[in-house]
Structure 1
Amino acid sequence: MPTSLNSTTCLLCGTKLVKNGRHPSGTQRWRCTSCGTSQTRKRPDLTQREHLRAFVSWLTGKRSQPEIDGTQTGRSFRRRTAKCWTMRPHLPPCNTIHHAVMVDGIWIGSWCLLIALSDTGHVLAWQWCSGETTAAWSALLTKVPPPAVLVSDGGTGLPSALRQAWPHTWHQRCLFHLQMNVTRHLTRNPRTKAGRALRALIQHLSDVRDEDQAIQWQVLLNQWWQEYGYLTRERTLLRNGYFGFTHDRLRKAWLLVHNVVRKDLIFTYVRYGNPRTTSPLEGGVNAQLREMLRRHRGMSEEHRRRAAEWFLTVREIGIDEALATATTAIEKPRPEPREEPEGPALYDTGLDSGEGLWMRAGWAGRG
């Protein structure tokens, strides 16, 4: 009779089974009291779950496939867990309002992964995108309740998304990224006195702790402008015949600092006590994510994306809850090849004598 492999009745006579010891693997063995056949109950759901658990443990851990499988090549492990690449985890929706949220993007192949991290170190949400655009940042911010302060590295598209999604949230520019961007323009050893003074002033931002020090720093910045500001407006004739700024790098560094101070994005941490850098996100989550991808180098781009999702989910809610949230990823069907119409092609890549590509021979054209 057609019965399930997990049925408690005999597959031959339909009699109810009774327990009959255990299999050497530890599985419960069942025996039919009528015909005497013995069998074990199959649990494909448990088998799939354990395969997925071993897959996630390998993906987020440091053990290799042969070490987990106990073989020389790990081929059996890859065969058992091949379907696990189609399983996609999901973080539960974030409903808690946090004091500060740090956001940053990390590139994985041709995809950019935007991550939101709370000031307590919890991953709140992530968003895949093709670049740090306003639409991508808006999609990420709408997944998280508006906090008091947002800390970022000044990525493009974020200010517009912040005004749309979280209009009442204060913005803190990461001081470390600000210092690095200024150093990129001025280098570590500026040639001019004005460049050395401006870079030293930016490096002293790390020493500002209270409002008095913040006011004193802004006074020093204003003094720098009064002494060296004219250099940012000087022009000279370039080799191409056009006039350009004489101290272009100094001008770019000054405009970068001036815009951050003018928009009040630099000393938000003094008033509200929020983190002043995105180091907990970049030095913590992003660094660990890069290390995980480095251990499993050689994966395809799609597998790297799935590995990043499993890593963030397991880090936040643990492997047991992550397995419960896994669903099968929906794959887009491949487009079917277009059928070629019957008959001669009107436009094609072949050559034809009617196009005048060859030299004519014979009596054609003679009068």
Structure 2
Amino acid sequence: MFVYIQQNIRTHLTMRSKLDASKELPALAKVLTPIQTLDQAAVWASEFASWEGLWETFLKHRSYAKKNGERPSPIGAGQLWWFTHMRLRRAKGTLATVLKNEHLFSCLTHVTQGRKLPRTTSPLEGDVNAGLKHLLRNHRGLSDDHAKRAEDW
């Protein structure tokens, strides 16, 4: 489950960052993988909060527009300033949002003692749903009603 969060973090950050904050955040995201209990999740959430507190002022650094100066691609022509570490802020925002919305560890509330969680949803894609996907792919012209009946069958 946490593999997808780690992929999102990697999307925002480079693999060979020179900034300490950009090295620590992917390392913190990597620690998500072995988490199996709500207690471990609470420890991880406190470590993330500590990381946020440590780098809070760093993440607020601003870059100001210079006359005829170069701007990052998402920055508009009339914009006077932008956050210097935009990619790091996006990566942090990814984790902060799923944590705040209680989506990050929601899967742990349904785990019974002694059962391990799968690391990804890949077994579902190749196992349970593969036959349905194959059926619908081979019969693409079915109306919605007929497709539903075919799935039920």
Alignment TM-score > 0.5, same fold: yes
Q: Percent identity?
A: 29
8 Å Cα contact 1:175-1:206 kept in structure 2: yes
Quote how far apart the aligned CAs of 1:308 are. 6.4
1:307 paired to 2:145? no
Alpha-carbon distance in structure 1 between the residues aligned to 2:27 and 2:139: 39
> Gaps (5+ residues) in structure 2?
72-78, 112-116, 141-149
CA RMSD, Structure 1 to Structure 2 (Å): 2.9
> Gaps (5+ residues) in structure 1?
1-173, 293-303, 310-321, 326-367
Quote how far apart the aligned CAs of 1:212 are. 2.3
Residue in 1 aligned with 2:145?
none
Cα–Cα, structure 1 residues 218 and 306, in superposed 2: closer, same or farther, change >3 Å? closer
SS of the residue 2:63 aligns to: strand
Alpha-carbon distance in structure 2 between the residues aligned to 1:308 and 1:204: 43
1:281 to 121, 124, 128: 124
Quote how far apart the aligned CAs of 1:229 are. 1.9
1:253 paired to 2:91? yes
Residue in 2 aligned with 1:193?
20
8 Å Cα contact 1:269-1:276 kept in structure 2: no
Quote how far apart the aligned CAs of 1:233 are. 1.7
| Residue identity opposite 1:222 in structure 2 | A
Cα–Cα, structure 1 residues 235 and 209, in superposed 2: closer, same or farther, change >3 Å? same
Cα–Cα, structure 1 residues 305 and 221, in superposed 2: closer, same or farther, change >3 Å? same
Cα–Cα, structure 1 residues 308 and 253, in superposed 2: closer, same or farther, change >3 Å? farther
2:81 to 222, 239, 243: 243
Q: TM-score, normalised by structure 1?
A: 0.30
Alpha-carbon distance in structure 2 between the residues aligned to 1:187 and 1:308: 42
1:226 paired to 2:69? no
SS of the residue 2:36 aligns to: coil
Q: Deviations over 1:217-246 (max 9, x none)?
A: 111101101111222222111435631110
| Residue identity opposite 1:259 in structure 2 | T
User: Which of the two has greater helix per residue?
Assistant: 2
User: Which of the two has greater strand per residue?
Assistant: 1
Residue in 2 aligned with 1:182?
9
Structure 1 runs of 4+ with >6 Å offset: none
Q: If you compute each CA radius of gyration, which structure gives the higher value, 1 or 2?
A: 1
Alpha-carbon distance in structure 2 between the residues aligned to 1:189 and 1:308: 46
